[in-house]
Structure 1
Amino acid sequence: MDGMVDATLRTRRFPLPSRGGEMAALEFGPADRPLDIVFCHANGFNAQTYRTILAPLGATLRILAIDLRGHGATTLPTKLENRPGWAEYRDDLLALLPHVTTGPVVVAGHSMGATTSLMAAAQTPETIGRLVLFDPVLSPDRTELAPTDIAQSPLVQGALRRRPVFDSRPAALAAYQGRGAFKTWSDEQLADYVAAGFHDLEDGRVQLACAPAWEASNFSVYDGQAWAAAQSCPCPVRIFRAEHGSTCRVDGHIEALTATGRYRIETVPGTSHFLPMERPDLVREALAQAVAGLAS
C-alpha cells in the first residue's frame, strides 16, 4: 500500500460514560478535514478488518471506522442477560456521533454494522446525511422464534463452536486461511482481521476479542426494530446486496422502498455476504459518491 496513505492511519479512543466505557476506532485521512464517513463493521469483526478497503480513501477523505461493543479494542460492557436487541449498538453510535461531527456525515456499514447505521439514521436525521449499506441484516418478515429454536439455529451454533484461544496470531491466521467465511478474502484482509481480532493473554496465547457467546447473542437478539427503522429513515439510502446468501431479504418490498425516492437497492453479481472483501473497488466508489452527493 502507498506509504502516504498508511501515514494517515490513526488510533482513536472515545470515552462514552453514558454507555459505560470507551469506543475504539481507526481514523484515516487528513486530520484537519471535517469527518466525511463513519464505518461500522460486521458481527464478529473489527474496524481493522476493513483497513485495506478504506485506507485508499484517506488520500482525500477523513474516515472513522469504529469497533462496536464487544469487538476489537472497544471496552463498552458486554452483558448477555436482557439485551435490548441491536438498539444497543444504535445507541452506542448515537452517543459517539456528537464527539466526532457537528454536521451531516455519510454513515456506512457491513452486515450488522449496516443495520446499526440504518437504525441510527432513523433517530438523528440532522447528523446522518446519507447511508451506504453493504448487505445489511434486514427482513420485514422476521418472526419471533422460541428460545429453543434460536439456540439451535446454524448461525448461533456456528458462533458458539468458534475456537476462542490460539497459541499465537500466526497460529490463528494459519487456522483460518482459505477456510469457511474467509475463503474469498485476500491474505492482507485476513491478517488485519486477526491482528485486531484477538487480545493478548498473560501466558503468551491470544483470545478472540469478540467472545463466541457475544457473537452468538448478536444473532439471537436481532428483532424487528431494523425494519421499522428502514421504513422511517429520512435520508438517502444506498444498499448493495450479495448475490449469494444475502442477509438483505427485502424481495417483495424493493418497489415500495424505492418508490419513496430515498432508496437505491442493487444486487452485486458474484458476491457473497462478504461483499466488501470481494469488491473493495465498489465499496470505495460508493462511499466517494455518497460524500460527493452530500456536498452537492
Structure 2
Amino acid sequence: MFQSSDHPGAEVLPRADECLRADARDLQGGGRRSLAIPGTEGRLSLLEWDGPADYPDDGPALVWLHATGFHALTYRRLLIDIAAQMPVVALDLRGHGSTTLPAVPGRTRVHRVYFGDVVTVLEGLGRPAILGGHSLGCLVGFGLAGRRPDLVRGLLLAEPVLVPQRLARLFAIARAFGQADKVSRMAAGARRRRVVFPSRMAMLDSYAGRGAFRTWPAETLADYVAGGARGRPDGQVELACSPAWEAETFNALPARLWRWIGGIRCPITLLRGGQGSTCREESAARLKAMKPWTREVMRPQASHFLPQEEPELVVEEVRRLTAAVAEGRATAN
C-alpha cells in the first residue's frame, strides 16, 4: 500500500534471545515498512498486510493503533488473522516500538503528534479506513473519527480509556498544576518501570505469568518483548517506550474527549471487559446514548487486555464492522 523502505524479516535464529528480535517474528505474508512524516526527522514504523488477492480496490483497510507502552507487533497473531479477510496496517505510535520520530517528554504535545502521524498514514492509504484500537489507540481513534470524519469509515474500540467528563476535567486541572502523577496511578507506575535487562530472554522471564501479563498467551508475550526491547551498546536491552514517555501519554488524557465523540458519524463497535475495565458501565451508557448505533460487546471474564485474551472476538467484530460499513449501515444523524 505504501511506497517506502522495507525491512525484510529474518529467519528465526537458533539462539533463544535472537528469536525474540522483532525481525525474527513470522509476519506470514506481511512486512515492516517505515514512513517519513513531513516536517520532522526520524520515521514512523508500521506493519502491513495486503489482504486477500481478490479484495476490492475500493474496500477498506483496517488501521490498528496499539495501547500505551505497547507496539504493533504485540498484536501480531490477531492482525495476521484479520489480514486473511482485508488489508491491515498497524502502527508503532510515536515513542513506541521501532518508530524513531521525536518523542521528548515535556516538549512534545502527545496527542497532537499521535493525531498528525496517523493522519499522514490515512491520507496516504489509497483506500478507505476502519480504525481499530486498544486503550490509547481508541483515544486516538475517537479524536480522528470526531475531527476528521472524512478519513474514518468505522471505529472498533477494544477497551477504550473512556472516563466520565468530570474525571477528564480533573486530569486537565492536575496537568495544569504539575500534579498529574498524583491523579494517574498508571503514570506513577510507569515511572517505576524497570528499563534495562541483560537480554530479551531475561525481560521475557521477568514478565511471564506476572502482573498485567498473567493472562497473556506465551506467544503474545514473546511478541510484546520482541517489539518492545531495543539493543544497547553494552549488549543489554532496554524498553523501546521510555517510562517518561509512557507516563506522559497516561497523563495526557484529553479534556475534550467527549466533544470529539460528539463529531463521530461512522459505525462504532465497543468491546469491553468486566475485570478492571477502563470503560465502565457509566461511560459505555453515555457513548450509546450519544451514538445509538454503537454495537457493544461486554465480556465479564475479560480484563483491560481483551485483545490479548480474546483475539477471536476482535477478529469476528472486525468482520461484522466491515460488513456494516460495506452495507452503509451507519448512522449519521
TM-score by length of 2: 0.81
Alignment of 1:17-28 (within 5 A): 17-28=38-49
Corresponding position of 1:123: 147
Distance 2:70 2:268 in 1: 23
Contact (CA 8 Å) 2:268, 2:293: kept in 1 or not?
A: yes
173, 185, 201: which is aligned to 2:216? 185
Matches within 5 A, 1:205-224: 205-224=236-255
How far is the alpha carbon of 1:9 from its aligned partner? 1.6
Superposed CA deviations along residues 240-275 of structure 1, whole A, max 9, x for unmatched, are 122121112460662563464342233222011101
Seq. identity, %? 36
**What corresponds to 1:136 in structure 2?**
160
Which amino acid in structure 2 is aligned with residue 203 of structure 1? D
Task: State the partner residue of 1:112.
Answer: 136
Please tell me the residue identity of whatever aligns with 2:106: E
Bigger drift between 231-240 and 74-83 goes to: 74-83
Of 62, 72, 83, 1:47 maps to 72
TM-score under structure 1 normalisation? 0.91
TM superposition shift of 1:223: 2.2
Q: Tell me by how many angstroms 1:148 deviates.
A: 5.3
CA RMSD of aligned residues (A): 2.1
Runs of 5+ unmatched residues, structure 2: 1-25, 328-333
- The within-5 A match list for 1:148-163 is 149-152=179-182, 153-163=184-194
1:175 aligns with 2:206: yes
Work out whether residues 128 and 153 of structure 2, in 8 Å CA contact, stay in contact via their aligned partners in 1. Answer: yes
Q: 1:84 Cα deviation (Å)?
A: 3.1
| Local SS of the residue matching 1:189 | helix
Equivalent residues, number: 291
Does structure 2 conserve the Cα–Cα contact (< 8 Å) formed by 1:67 and 1:74?
Answer: yes
Tell me, in whole angstroms, the C-alpha distance in 1 between the residues paired with 2:41 and 2:295.
36
Following TM superposition, where does structure 1 have runs of at least 4 consecutive aligned residues deviating by more than 6 angstroms? none
1:58 matched to which residue of 2?
83
Q: Is the 8 A contact 1:201 1:207 kept in 2?
A: yes
The alpha carbon displacement at 1:6 in A equals: 4.5
- Which shows bigger deviation, 89-98 or 130-139? 89-98
Distance 2:94 2:110 in 1: 13
Task: Quote how far apart the aligned CAs of 1:167 are.
Answer: 0.7
Report deviation, 1:11.
0.7
TM-aligned CA distance change 1:31 to 1:25, over 3 Å: farther
> Which consecutive unaligned segments of at least 5 residues does structure 1 have?
none
Alignment match, 1:30: 51
| C-alpha distance 168-213 of structure 1, shift in aligned 2 (>3 A) | same
What is the letter of the counterpart of residue 296 of structure 2? I
